C-alpha cells in the first residue's frame, strides 16, 4: 500500500478499508527517505511483469505528497482512498514521469503547478521493468523556471531521449485507450470515430498498423493530387490541340489574305494616277467654257444702256401726275368732311323724333295696364266677399281646441317624465363605463406585469416560452393540473427580496414546469422534447405536501441575530410549487437576515448550526468536515435579481375579473332599460306631433274669417288708389305731334345743304380718277421697261456668276491636279524628276483604267481580305510554339500517369496489409465488447465505420450500446447516454482492449463514478477477471470507494492511500515491524 506523508491542508482522518489478505512482504512497498536514493540495480523479478510495466513510483514534494514510494503489482493494482487523499496524484506522477504533457491531465498547463505548494522543487521517479535491466526515469521540476531536468538511470539526459525510450516500450500516456485520468473520463465518449480508431491502433495494434494507416492517407492524398494534375493537364492538352487545329486554318487564311492585300496595294497605287488624269481632262474642259462666258458678259452690258435712259424720262412724268392727284385728294377730303357734319345733324334730328314717339307709346301702355289692374282687383274683392259669407256659416271650434290642448299637456308631462328617466339611466351607464374602464385598466396593468415576466422568459429561454404557449392551448390533454415555469408562478411579496429566491433556486428549476403526476409529465416531454425538439425542464411535485411544513426552529429564536423571515414567507406560489421548493430547496428552513446578521456571522454560524444563511448582500453555506468535525463556511455575493422583480397579485386580478363581469352585467341591464325608454319616448313624440297638427288645423280654421276681412279691406284701398291715378292721352298725343313737325322742317333744310356738298365732291372724284388713269399708263410703261432691264440685269448677273464659278473651278482643278500628281508620286515613292518604274507600269496595264472599276475591285478585295479577321504576322510563330508545347505536355502527362499507377499499386498493397489485420482486430474487440455487455444483460457492438472505402482518413471505430431492451443500439456520444452509461461503455471498451493490448500498462482513474451499484459490481468483476489473467498487461484501477462483498483475485495488488493528521512519517512506516510487535504483545499476555 502507499503511505503518503501528512498534508499541509486541513487535518482529517480516514479509517482503513478492508482488502484481500496477502503475504506481508508483498503488501509493504519499499520506503526511502527524502535523500537521493541509491542507483537502482537490474531487477530480476519473480513476478510476471511484462516489458515496460511500472515496478516503482517515487514522489517528492509532488502535489499532496512530501515523500512517497509506491510499488505496484504486475497485474491489477487497485488504488483506494478517500477523496483528497492523493490517489490522482499518483496518476499525475505516472503521466509526468513518463514525459506526458501537463495539459493532458486537465488540471494545469504548466509543470510547476504540480509541485507541492510552498516548495521550490519537486521530483517524480518511475522504474520500468525491462528484461535487459530496469529503466529508471527521473524528472526534477523547478517551480521558478517552470522547467524539468531529466535523468535515465541517474544520468542526465533530454526529454526527447526520454520520449524515445518510453515510446520504444509502447507506452502512450497521451492515448485515452491506455491512460485515462480522472479529468479526461468524460472526453473518451467525446472522441470521434476517427480519433478512437487512431488511439486503438496505437494502443493494441501491431507497430506497423498505424504506420500503414498514415501511409495510406498520404498515398491517397498524393493519388488525389496526381488525379487532379492529370485531369488538368489532359484538359489543357486537349484545349491546346483544339486551338492549334483552329490556328492551322488561320495560317492558311493568313497567306490568302496577304495575296489580297498585295492586290489592294497595287490598286491603291494606280488609283491616284487615274484620278489625276480624270481631273486634268476636266480642267481643260472648264477652261474653254470660262472663255466663252466671258465674251457673253461683255455683250449683255452693252445692250442695257438705251433702256436706262428711257426709264429716267418716264419717272419724271410720273412724279408730276402724282403731285396733281394728291391736290385733288385733299379737296375731296375737305368736302367729304362737310358732308359728314350735315349728315350727323340729320341723324340726331331723326333720333329726337324717335324718342318722342317712344315716350308716347310708354304712356299709352301704362294707361292700358292700369285699367286691367282695376278690373282684376274688383274681381278679387268679389271672390273674397263670397268666401267670407261662407266662413260665417261654420260651427264653433273652441271646445275641440280645448280638448286637444288638454291631451297635448298630458302627453308632454309623460314625455318629460320619460326624458328624466333617460337622463338618469345615461348617468348610471356613464358611471358604470367609467368603473369598467378603471377595472379594465387595472387588469391591463396586471397583464403588462405578467407580460414583462413572459418577455424575460422569451428572451432568455425561448424553448421554455414556446412550451408555455403550447401548454396554454393544450391543457385538455392532461389529467391533472400542470403549472407553468416556477418563475412565472412565483409572486414576490416585496420585489427587493427577489435576489434571495433567484440565488437560492437554480435557473434550471426556475424555468421548470411542475406536474402533479408522472403520466402527465411523460406526455408533456414526449410532445415537447421528442416531437418539437424543445429543450425544457420538468419536475414532479411531492405526493405529500411540504408547503405548510413547519421549520425546525422558530423565527422568534433567530430574530436576535437579525433574521426577519424564512425564504418561504417572502413569496406566494401554488401549493404544489411551494411543496416542491420546500422538499428540494428547504426554503422553509433557510432564514434571511440583515446587515446586522452579517456583522455577527461567526456567532450565528457557531450558535445556530444553520446550513444556509442569507444576509443583506451575501449567502453563507456551512459544512462540517467528516474528518475533524471542524465547521467550514463559505460565502458568496448575491447576484442581482433578473426574473422575479416583477410581482403579479393573481388573487387581486381574479377579483378584478369578477368585478368586471358584474359591471358588464349591470351595463347590459341599463342598456336594455334605455332601449325601452327610447321606444316609449318615440311613441310619445309621435302622439305629441299628431295632437299639435290637429290643433294647428282647428286654429287655422278659426282665424280664416279675420284674415278674409283684412284682405278685402286691403284690396279696396288698392282699388281706390288706382282709380285716382288718371292720365290724359289726347293732350299727350297733340304735344308730341307739334314737336315732330318742328324737327322735320329743320331736317329738310339740312338735306338741301347736304345735296350741294355731295355734287361738289362727285366732280372732284371724277377729276382725280382721270389723273390716276394717266399715271397708271405711265407706271405701266415704266414697269415694263424696268422688267426688261431687270431681266437683262438678271441674265448679266447669272452669266457673271457662271463666269466666276468657272474661273474658281479652273483654279481649284489646277490646284487639285498639282496635289494629285504629288500624291501619286508619293504613293509610288517617286521623286520630283523621276518617272514611273517599269514594274508599276507593267502591273498597272493588268488593272482597270477607270476609278469606278478600280473602286469596285478595291471594295471586292477589301471585302475578301476583311473575311480574314483576327490574323496577324505572329500567328505562324504562335502556331509553331504551341506545337512544341503540345509535345512537351504529352510527355509530362505520360510521366504523371505512370507515377499515378505506381501510387495506386502502393495503395492496393498497403491497404491489404492494413485493412485485413484491422478488420480482424476490430472483430476481436467487438467479440470481447459484446460478450462483456451480454454478461450485463445489455447489448453493445464495435465496428469499423466509413462512408467511402477510398477515404482512408475517414475510417473510424464506432461504438454502439443498448442498456434497455426497449431501445435500439445507439452510438456512444457525450449527449445521448447518461454519465454512468458512458462510464460503463468506456470501461468495457478498455477491458476489451486489455487481452489484445500490447501496451505494458493501463491507467483508469475513478471511472466507476456515476455507475449504479449493479453495473459497478458487474464491471468490477469483469475488471478483476480480465486484468488478472496470465500474460496480460499491468492495470491501475483508481477508486475512492468499493461496494461490499466484491470478488477478489490472488493476483490483485490493493494499495490503500491514507492521509490525515495522525499518520506516521513515511520513514517510520514498517509493516513487518508492526506485525512483530503484535506477536510479542500476544505472547506476553497471560492465557485465560
DSSP state of 630: -
Residue 477 lies in a domain: no
Rounding to the nearest 10 degrees, give the CA dihedral for residues 1062, 1068, 1070, 1073: -100
Residues whose CB falls within 8 Å of the CB of residue 547, separated by 6 or more in sequence, listed in order: 575, 576, 578, 579, 582
Instruction: With a cut of 50, say whether residue 20 has pLDDT above it.
Output: no
* Cα–Cα distance measured from residue 1021 to residue 1088, given in angstroms and rounded to the nearest whole number: 44
Nearest to 270 by CA among 864, 857, 862: 857
Segment 1058-1075 mean pLDDT: 76
Q: What is the pLDDT of residues 338-377, one digit of tens each?
A: 888 888 888 888 888 888 888 888 877 877 887 888 888 8
* β partners of residue 191: none
In the structure, what pLDDT confidence band is assigned to residue 34 with cuts at 50, 70 and 90? very low
Does residue 386 have a pLDDT over 90? no
Length of the chain: 1088
Measure the CA–CA gap between 70 and 57, rounded to whole angstroms: 5
Determine the structural domain holding residue 539 and report its residue range: 491-643
Cβ(1002)–Cβ(1035) below 8 Å: yes
pLDDT at 13 over 60: no
User: Looking at 177-186, 297-306, 478-487, 1011-1020, which range is the least confident one?
Assistant: 177-186
Task: Give the Cα separation of 620 and 605 in Å (integer).
Answer: 9
For 482, phi and psi rounded to 5 degrees?
A: -115, 130
Q: By percentage, how much of the chain surpasses pLDDT 70?
A: 89
Work out the number of other CB atoms within 10 angstroms of the CB of residue 399.
9
Specify the DSSP class assigned to residue 967.
S
Least confident stretch, 440-449, 663-672, 925-934: 440-449
At 346 the pLDDT is: 84
Give the end of a domain, one of 643, 674, 701.
643
Q: Quick check: is 675 in a domain?
A: no
| Number of domains within the chain | 2
For residue 782, pLDDT over 90 is answered with no
540: β partners:
515
> What is the predicted pLDDT for the residue at 994?
65
- How many of the other CB atoms lie within 10 Å of CB of 662? 13
Residue 464 has a pLDDT of 92
Q: What is the pLDDT of residues 883-906, one digit of tens each?
A: 888 888 888 888 888 888 888 888
Residue entry with cell 520520449: 163
Q: Is there a domain that residue 448 lies in?
A: no
Domain end point (choices 643, 674, 705): 643
**Sequence-separated (6 or more) residues with CB below 8 Å from residue 338:** 757
> Among residues 594, 622, 643, which one ends one of the domains?
643
Question: Which grid cell is 943?
Answer: 465496428
Task: Say if residue 72's pLDDT is above 90.
Answer: yes
Distances (CA, A) of 1001 to 74, 549, 711: 9, 56, 145
Q: How far apart are CA 651 and CA 573, in angstroms?
A: 11
pLDDT confidence of residue 30? 34
335 domain residue, yes or no? no
Element (H, E) at 141: strand 135-142
Rounded Cα gap, residues 831 and 825, in angstroms? 7
8 Å CB contact between 1002 and 990: yes
The torsion angle over the Cα atoms of residues 1014, 1017, 1021 and 1027, rounded to 10 degrees, is 120
pLDDT at 779: 84
- The reply to whether 109 falls in a domain is yes
Q: What is the pLDDT of residue 705?
A: 67
376 found inside a domain: no
Evaluate whether 55 touches 43 at the Cβ level (below 8 Å). yes
Residue of higher predicted confidence among 632 and 389: 632
Does 885 reside within a domain? no
What CATH number should be reported for the domain holding residue 947?
A: 3.40.50.300
Edge-first strand listing for the sheet containing 537-540: 482-483, 512-515, 537-540
Predicted confidence band at 28 (pLDDT cuts at 50, 70, 90)? very low
pLDDT of residue 56: 93
Query: CB count, 10 Å around CB of 961?
Result: 24
What are the C-alpha distances in Å from 122 to residues 60, 139, 1063? 6, 8, 22
Cell digits for 143?
517551480
How large is the average pLDDT for residues 1000-1016?
Answer: 77
Q: What is the predicted pLDDT for the residue at 447?
A: 61
pTM reported for the whole predicted model: 0.40
| pLDDT bracket for residue 528 (50, 70, 90) | very high
> Taking phi first (over 0 means left), then psi (-120 to 50 degrees means alpha), and beta for anything else, what does residue 639 get?
beta
Determine the straight-line distance between the first and last CA of the chain, rounded to whole angstroms.
35
pLDDT at 396: 64
Cell 492549334 found at:
244
pLDDT in the model for residue 391 = 63
Among the listed residues 948, 916, 493, the one whose alpha carbon sits nearest the alpha carbon of residue 501: 493
Cα separation, 913 vs 179, in Å, equals 28
Across 625-653, b (16+ Cβ under 10 Å) vs e yields eebeeeeeeeeeebeebebbbbbbeeeeb
Q: How far is CA 131 from the centre of its chain?
A: 68
Q: Is 871 inside a domain boundary?
A: no
Q: What is the average per-residue pLDDT within 865-877?
A: 72
- What pLDDT shows up at residue 140? 93
Instruction: Look at residue 31 in the predicted model and tell me its pLDDT.
Output: 33
Amino acid at each position: 500500500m502507499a503511505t503518503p506523508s501528512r498534508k499541509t491542508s486541513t487535518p482529517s482522518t480516514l479509517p482503513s478499508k478492508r482488502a484481500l489478505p496477502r503475504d506481508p512482504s508483498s503488501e509493504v512497498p519499499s520506503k526511502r527517505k527524502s535523500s537521493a536514493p541509491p542507483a537502482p540495480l537490474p531487477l530480476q523479478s519473480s513476478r510476471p511483469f511484462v516489458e515496460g510495466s511500472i515496478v516503482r513510483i517515487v514522489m517528492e514534494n509532488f502535489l499532496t505528497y512530501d515523500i512517497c514510494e509506491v510499488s505496484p503489482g504486475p497485474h491489477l493494482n487497485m488504488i483506494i482512498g478517500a477523496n483528497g487523499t492523493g490517489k490522482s496524484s499518483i496518476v499525475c506522477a505516472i503521466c509526468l514521469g513518463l514525459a506526458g504533457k501537463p495539459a493532458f491531465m486537465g488540471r494545469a498547463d504548466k509543470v510547476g503547478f504540480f509541485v507541492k505548494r510552498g516548495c521550490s522543487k519537486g521530483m517524480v521517479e518511475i522504474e520500468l521493468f525491462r528484461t535487459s535491466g530496469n529503466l529508471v526515469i527521473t524528472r526534477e521540476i523547478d517551480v521558478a523556471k517552470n522547467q524539468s531536468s531529466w535523468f535515465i538511470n541517474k544520468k542526465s539526459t533530454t526529454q526527447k531521449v526520454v520520449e524515445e525510450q518510453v515510446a520504444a516500450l509502447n507506452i502512450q500516456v497521451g492515448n485515452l485507450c491506455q491512460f485515462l485520468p480522472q479529468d479526461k473520463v468524460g472526453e473518451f465518449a467525446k472522441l470521434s470515430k476517427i480519433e478512437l480508431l487512431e488511439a486503438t491502433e496505437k494502443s493494441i495494434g501491431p507497430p506497423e498498423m498505424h504506420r500503414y494507416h498514415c501511409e495510406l492517407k498520404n498515398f491517397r492524398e498524393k493519388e488525389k493530387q496526381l488525379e487532379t494534375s492529370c485531369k488538368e493537364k489532359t484538359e489543357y492538352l486537349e484545349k491546346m490541340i483544339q486551338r492549334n487545329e483552329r490556328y492551322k486554318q488561320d495560317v492558311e487564311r493568313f497567306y490568302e489574305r496577304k495575296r489580297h492585300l498585295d492586290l489592294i496595294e497595287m490598286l491603291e497605287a494606280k488609283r491616284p494616277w487615274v484620278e489625276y488624269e480624270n481631273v486634268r481632262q476636266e480642267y481643260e474642259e472648264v477652261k474653254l467654257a470660262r472663255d466663252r462666258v466671258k465674251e457673253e458678259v461683255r455683250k449683255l452690258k452693252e445692250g442695257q444702256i438705251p433702256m436706262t435712259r428711257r426709264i429716267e424720262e418716264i419717272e419724271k412724268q410720273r412724279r408730276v401726275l402724282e403731285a396733281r392727284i394728291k391736290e385733288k385728294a385733299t379737296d375731296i377730303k375737305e368736302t367729304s368732311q362737310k358732308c359728314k357734319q350735315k349728315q350727323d345733324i340729320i341723324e340726331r334730328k331723326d333720333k329726337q323724333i324717335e324718342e318722342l314717339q317712344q315716350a308716347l307709346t310708354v304712356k299709352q301702355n301704362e294707361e292700358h295696364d292700369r285699367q286691367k289692374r282695376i278690373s282684376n282687383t274688383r274681381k278679387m274683392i268679389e271672390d273674397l266677399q263670397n268666401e267670407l259669407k261662407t266662413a260665417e256659416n261654420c260651427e264653433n271650434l273652441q271646445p275641440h281646441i280645448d280638448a286637444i290642448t288638454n291631451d297635448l299637456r298630458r302627453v308632454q308631462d309623460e314625455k318629460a317624465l320619460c326624458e328624466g328617466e333617460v337622463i338618469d339611466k345615461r348617468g348610471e351607464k356613464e358611471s358604470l363605463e367609467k368603473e369598467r374602464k378603471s377595472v379594465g385598466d387595472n387588469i391591463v396593468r396586471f397583464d403588462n406585469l405578467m407580460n414583462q415576466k413572459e418577455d424575460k422568459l422569451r428572451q432568455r429561454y425561448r424553448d421554455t416560452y414556446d412550451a408555455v404557449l403550447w401548454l396554454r392551448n393544450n391543457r385538455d390533454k392532461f389529467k391533472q393540473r400542470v403549472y407553468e415555469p416556477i418563475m412565472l408562478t412565483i409572486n414576490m411579496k416585496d420585489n427587493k427580496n427577489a435576489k434571495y429566491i433567484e440565488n437560492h433556486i437554480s435557473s434550471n428549476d426556475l424555468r421548470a414546469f411542475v406536474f402533479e403526476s408522472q403520466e402527465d409529465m411523460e406526455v408533456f416531454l414526449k410532445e415537447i422534447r421528442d416531437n418539437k425538439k424543445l429543450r425544457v425542464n420538468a419536475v414532479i411535485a411531492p405526493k405529500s405536501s411540504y408547503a405548510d411544513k413547519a421549520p425546525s426552529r422558530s423565527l422568534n429564536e433567530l430574530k436576535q441575530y437579525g433574521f426577519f423571515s424564512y425564504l418561504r414567507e417572502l413569496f406566494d406560489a401554488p401549493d404544489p410549487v411551494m411543496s416542491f421548493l420546500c422538499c428540494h430547496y428547504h426554503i422553509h428552513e433557510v432564514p434571511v437576515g440583515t446587515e446586522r446578521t452579517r456583522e455577527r456571522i461567526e456567532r450565528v454560524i457557531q450558535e445556530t448550526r444553520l446550513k444556509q444563511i442569507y444576509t443583506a448582500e451575501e449567502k453563507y453555506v456551512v459544512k462540517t468536515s467528516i474528518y475533524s468535525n471542524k465547521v467550514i463556511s463559505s460565502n458568496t455575493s448575491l447576484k442581482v435579481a433578473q426574473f422575479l422583480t416583477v410581482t403579479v397579485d393573481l388573487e387581486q386580478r381574479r377579483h378584478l375579473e369578477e368585478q368586471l363581469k358584474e359591471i358588464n352585467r349591470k351595463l347590459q341591464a341599463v342598456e336594455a332599460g334605455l332601449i325601452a325608454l327610447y321606444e316609449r319616448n318615440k311613441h310619445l313624440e309621435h302622439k305629441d306631433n299628431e295632437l299639435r297638427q290637429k290643433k294647428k288645423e282647428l286654429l287655422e280654421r278659426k282665424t280664416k274669417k279675420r284674415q278674409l276681412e283684412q284682405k278685402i279691406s286691403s284690396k279696396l284701398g288698392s282699388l281706390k288708389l288706382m282709380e285716382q291715378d288718371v292720365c290724359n292721352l289726347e293732350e299727350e298725343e297733340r304735344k308730341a305731334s307739334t314737336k315732330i313737325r318742328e324737327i322735320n322742317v329743320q331736317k329738310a333744310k339740312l338735306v338741301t345743304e347736304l345735296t350741294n356738298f355731295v355734287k361738289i365732291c362727285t366732280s372732284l372724284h371724277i377729276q382725280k380718277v382721270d389723273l390716276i388713269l394717266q399715271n397708271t399708263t405711265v407706271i405701266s410703261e415704266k414697269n415694263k421697261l424696268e422688267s426688261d432691264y431687270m431681266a437683262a440685269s438678271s441674265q448679266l448677273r447669272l452669266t457673271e456668276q457662271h463666269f466666276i464659278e468657272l474661273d474658281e473651278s479652273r483654279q481649284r482643278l489646277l490646284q487639285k491636279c498639282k496635289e494629285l500628281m504629288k500624291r501619286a508620286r508619293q504613293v509610288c515613292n517617286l521623286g520630283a524628276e523621276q518617272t514611273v518604274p517599269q514594274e508599276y507600269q507593267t502591273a498597272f496595264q493588268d488593272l482597270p483604267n477607270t476609278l469606278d472599276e478600280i473602286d469596285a475591285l478595291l471594295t471586292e478585295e477589301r471585302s475578301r481580305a476583311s473575311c480574314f479577321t483576327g490574323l496577324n504576322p505572329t500567328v505562324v510563330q504562335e502556331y509553331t510554339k504551341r506545337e512544341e508545347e503540345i509535345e512537351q505536355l504529352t510527355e509530362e502527362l505520360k510521366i504523371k500517369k505512370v507515377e499515378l499507377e505506381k501510387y495506386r499499386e502502393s495503395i492496393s498493397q498497403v491497404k491489404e496489409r492494413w485493412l485485413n489485420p484491422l478488420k480482424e482486430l476490430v472483430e476481436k474487440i467487438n467479440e470481447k465488447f459484446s460478450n462483456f455487455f451480454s454478461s450485463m444483460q445489455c447489448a453493445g457492438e464495435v465496428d469499423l465505420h466509413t462512408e467511402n472505402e477510398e477515404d482512408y482518413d475517414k475510417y473510424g471505430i464506432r461504438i454502439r450500446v443498448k442498456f434497455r431492451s426497449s431501445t435500439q443500439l445507439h452510438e456512444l456520444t457525450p449527449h445521448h447516454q447518461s454519465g454512468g452509461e458512458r462510464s460503463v461503455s468506456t470501461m468495457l471498451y478498455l477491458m476489451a482492449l486489455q487481452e489484445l493490448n500490447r501496451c505494458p500498462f493501463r491507467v483508469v482513474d475513478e471511472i466507476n463514478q456515476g455507475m449504479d451499484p449493479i453495473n459497478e459490481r458487474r464491471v468490477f468483476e469483469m475488471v478483476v477477471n480480465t486484468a488478472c489473467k496470465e500474460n496480460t498487461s499491468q492495470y491501475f484501477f483508481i477508486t475512492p470507494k468499493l461496494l461490499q462483498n466484491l470478488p477478489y483475485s490472488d493476483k490483485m495488488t490493493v494499495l490503500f492511500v491514507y492521509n490525515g493528521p495522525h499518520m506516521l512519517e513515511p520513514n517510520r512506516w514498517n509493516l513487518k515491524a508492526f506485525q512483530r510487535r503484535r506477536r510479542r504483545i500476544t505472547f506476553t499476555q497471560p492465557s485465560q
